Amino acid sequence: MRALFSYGLAFVLLLLAGGWLATGTLVQGGQGPGNGETPIISVIEGEEHGPVATALADAGVLADHHEPAVDPTLTIAQRNEATTGANAPLQSVRTQRFVAEAMPIEVPLRGRTQAKATVTAVAETAGAVDVVHVSKGQRVEVGDALCTLDQGTRAAAVAQAEAGVAQAEAALAQAQLSFDTNAGLRERGLAAVNTANAVEVALAQAKAGVSQATAALDNAKAELDRTEIVAKVAGLVQDPVATEGAMLNAGSPCATIVQLNPILFIGMVPEAHIGLARTGLDATIKTVTGQSVEGTVTYISSVADNATRAFPAEIEIPNENFAIRDGVTAEAIVTIGSAPGHLLPQSVLTLNDEGVLGVRTVEDGVVAFHSVTIVSDAREGVWVTGLPAISDVITIGQENVNAGQAVEASPAAETAAS
């Protein structure tokens, strides 16, 4: 009797569970929203609206799982807008006002540093090197001694030339005295008139002798001075450097000086920007060694490179302490002018449905999309063009709205031109 009761209770529970399941829905996935959903009772009956299914539907116990049709091409924002209706609350966004500023137009150039000049100090006369006053890597200024050659007989030649000058000056004094005496005698009638020609010639010859002796002295001193080889430019001493005891002929190098102040940046201006390039523009140069200095454009070639179609340019950089070396790879940013633009944070940039880069703004409570062009990156953000002069840019919620949609904007503080 107890077993019969247990089997009966189980059968009743089974009937109740089957009836409950029959009011549910069988879902077959992979067919899209609202598709593939069939009432279980219809599966049992083998038809869509059988008598049992109709009776259960009339009794209100059959589940209705039909969802409204959804266009799969719509974005989430468009689906929300379609389902909320005209009386639904507006989408909230956060905006920030940006005002157009003077945006610097900058052209990056890649290149390297180069010494302004490499000067070889050479001997102007022959002689053995007595003393070398410098070593490689030493800094020198204009007029510093580099090498001293053996003077040989040059000092004696100067003394001889000085004696020649003294002798010529004595002869000039004697000729001048004779000329003055003859002039006095002729005035008193004590000397013939034709004697004036002889003393005048003698005086002219004496003056010429003094000039000749002075020139000989200058040549002797110059030859003696040539034994001291001095720096004609300031810079650093590099190879080749002469050694003591070496014989130098006229034109032989004593030392090589690399002129590093100012130093040059050598780069190439792309032909797309050559129309805006000019001398006198300011530039910022950054080397691979981490140095950053300011310079000025001093030269732009009128002839393009055949391989790159770019134009060689030089930027002069002050280098007082010689910290920047010759041949270092560097990048220069040349400011060629300015134009109206907006400095925006990168987070406000977005793409529309066509994949166009732009910014969403709010104009009279309605969302507008403006395509923008990124001109340059800055530490504070990105410089862009393409926005109205005063723009209320959506900073929060721009991905949840579309152009033409009415929104409730909450403005932030205004960002004005500095």
Residue 86 is predicted with a pLDDT of 52
Residue 323 and residue 349 in one domain: no
DSSP designation for 214: H
Average pLDDT taken over every residue of the chain: 82
Please calculate the CA angle 315-319-320 and round it to the nearest 5 degrees. 150
12 Rama sector, left if φ>0, alpha if ψ -120 to 50, beta otherwise: alpha
The enclosing domain of 222 has a CATH number of 1.10.287
The whole model's pTM is what? Answer: 0.55
Residue 349 lies inside a defined structural domain of this protein: yes
Residue 324 and residue 354 in one domain: no
How many residues are given for the chain?
Answer: 418
Residue 333 and residue 369 in one domain: no
Residue 231 lies inside a defined structural domain of this protein: no
Residue 333 and residue 349 in one domain: no
Residue 91 has pLDDT above 90, yes or no: no
Residue 156 and residue 203 in one domain: yes
Handedness of CA 393, 395, 396, 402 (dihedral sign): positive
The enclosing domain of 318 has a CATH number of 2.40.30.170
pLDDT tens across 372-405, in order?
988 888 788 898 989 999 999 999 988 888 898 9
Residue 287 and residue 359 in one domain: no
- The residue from 338, 372, 398 where one domain ends is 338
Residue 247: what are its φ and ψ, rounded to 5°? -95, 120
Residue 331 and residue 383 in one domain: no
Query: Residues 6 or more apart from 74 whose CB is under 8 A from it?
Result: 82
Residue 5 is predicted with a pLDDT of 60
pLDDT band at 416 (very low <50, low <70, confident <90, very high): very low
Residue 217 and residue 270 in one domain: no
Residue 19 has pLDDT above 90, yes or no: no
The enclosing domain of 389 has a CATH number of 2.40.420.20
Residue 21 has pLDDT above 70, yes or no: no
Residue 370 and residue 334 in one domain: no
Indicate the number of domains in the chain.
Answer: 4
pLDDT tens across 195-251, in order?
888 888 888 998 999 999 999 999 988 888 888 999 999 999 998 899 998 899 998
pLDDT band at 185 (very low <50, low <70, confident <90, very high): confident
Residue 134 lies inside a defined structural domain of this protein: no
For residues 336 and 283, is the Cβ–Cβ distance under 8 A?
A: no
Residue 259 and residue 219 in one domain: no
Range of weakest confidence among 75-79, 163-167, 242-246, 369-373: 75-79
Residue 169 lies inside a defined structural domain of this protein: yes
- The residue from 280, 305, 338 where one domain ends is 338
Cis amide linkage into residue 240, ω under 30° from 0: yes
pLDDT band at 284 (very low <50, low <70, confident <90, very high): very high
Residue 127 lies inside a defined structural domain of this protein: no
pLDDT band at 111 (very low <50, low <70, confident <90, very high): very high
Residue 364 has pLDDT above 60, yes or no: yes
DSSP per-residue string spanning 63-112:
---PPPP--TTS-HHHHHHHHH-TTSPPEEEEEEEEE-EEEEEEEEEEEE
Residue 120 lies inside a defined structural domain of this protein: no
Residue 361 lies inside a defined structural domain of this protein: yes
Residue 418 is predicted with a pLDDT of 37
Residue 416 lies inside a defined structural domain of this protein: no
What is the residue range of 26's domain? 2-59
